[in-house]
Structure 1
């Protein structure tokens, strides 16, 4: 898999506290195992030409850092269940995502990451087993203190395992 993300370069303590809480519902902590910072995935591909990835990073770098507020834990009811943070609606983030896909095209992009279907999210745990489903749903219902993270680096990635192919500072 290949992807384009924006990530934080600071500590993001509130995010990591929630990651650790969510990891208690997994057999093994999935997000910490990535060894990759808090991030938002803007595009995901099975295969993509390196030039398209590089062009995508240039688009993002020109946009500048984005500070995004998060206000709720949600879930994707898959098997295994995925817990994630929902950002508050942010026009700048939506515009950046749309601009990225307009510039590099949607050809080969996972349908869930295309502009009209994309649900921005910061994954907390991606492998909650079915036996912990109710506990995960309870976790998602629990209110959290709103917090913000500043996304200031764009990466082109390949995984698994996560490998950064190219990075750009969002200026």
Structure 2
């Protein structure tokens, strides 16, 4: 997720069964035929059970899991960034950011190991934004991270609030548990525009970034903790305006 940001969580799944409902082959139980309303109720119960199974499923042991804590833009002005996604997507074999199903964001930390669980990460995020309001961030340039694949991102004008939140998160959770690029001294605030620029289009993508010559502002109004892949919001809070 941006610059490919990732995350993960653990939930309890529960199931219940009534032992008295089991019958032996010798037993015969007669039931009255269900009426229309009973059929409707049973159908809705079936749908509800399916939803609960998805929402409360516990990942299989050994599944790679990651957690990310972010601030995202859940509003119409975020369309400014999303339009840039589409432009950068033209340099990718498959547009990467639309595929996430997630809004424009800044990521403060990504945790891959079991040492930091969902609650610890979320508590750190909430403490870091205590007293903060929604962030109005200005962008003037598009930059890139070298590598294969090439990653393009929107560079924010220096914002003390972003740095302050990142510092608070790093103080709350040992940065040794965090991915190296998100540790103090290495973290670069960036709003990702594309994470999979094809090799043969790198020159075109860099020329596009260098030619970007306008400024715009986006309000980042919601903090969250997500797991991925795929991106799943585990906890979120809208900041006061």
Question: Could you state the TM-score of these two structures normalised by the residue count of structure 2?
Answer: 0.68
| Contact 1:23 1:30 survives alignment (8 Å) | yes
Provide, for residues 102-132 of structure 1, a one-character-per-residue CA deviation record: whole Å limited to 9, x for no partner: 1233131011101211000001010001111
Q: CA deviation at 1:5?
A: 0.5
- Which of 71, 83, 88 is matched with 1:17 structurally? 83
- Tell me which residue corresponds to 1:95: 164
Provide, for residues 36-79 of structure 1, a one-character-per-residue CA deviation record: whole Å limited to 9, x for no partner: 00100110111222221121231244222111111111011110
Structure 1 residues 56-65 or 39-48, which shifts more?
56-65
Q: Is it true that 1:49 corresponds to 2:114 in the alignment?
A: no
Q: CA deviation at 1:91?
A: 1.4
Q: Whose radius of gyration is greater, 1 or 2?
A: 2
Provide, for residues 113-153 of structure 1, a one-character-per-residue CA deviation record: whole Å limited to 9, x for no partner: 01211000001010001111100110110123111111111
Q: CA deviation at 1:26?
A: 0.4
- Tell me which residue corresponds to 1:166: 235
Note the residue ranges of structure 1 that are not aligned, 5 or more in a row: none
Q: Is it true that 1:6 corresponds to 2:74 in the alignment?
A: no
Question: Could you state the TM-score of these two structures normalised by the residue count of structure 1?
Answer: 0.95
Structure 1 residues 22-31 or 135-144, which shifts more?
135-144
Count residues in correspondence: 171
| Contact 2:129 2:165 survives alignment (8 Å) | no
CA-based RMSD of the aligned residues comes to 1.2
The structure, 1 or 2, with the larger RCO (C-alpha pairs under 8 Å, 6+ apart) is 1
| Contact 2:134 2:220 survives alignment (8 Å) | yes
Q: Which runs of 4+ in 1 moved over 4 A?
A: none
- Tell me which residue corresponds to 2:127: 59
| Contact 1:43 1:109 survives alignment (8 Å) | yes
Structure 1 residues 4-13 or 31-40, which shifts more?
4-13
Q: Is it true that 1:38 corresponds to 2:121 in the alignment?
A: no
**Structure 2 CA distance for aligned equivalents of residues 84 and 54 of structure 1:** 25
Greater strand percent: which structure?
1
Note the residue ranges of structure 2 that are not aligned, 5 or more in a row: 1-65
Q: Is it true that 1:81 corresponds to 2:81 in the alignment?
A: no
Secondary structure of the corresponding residue to residue 118 of structure 1: coil
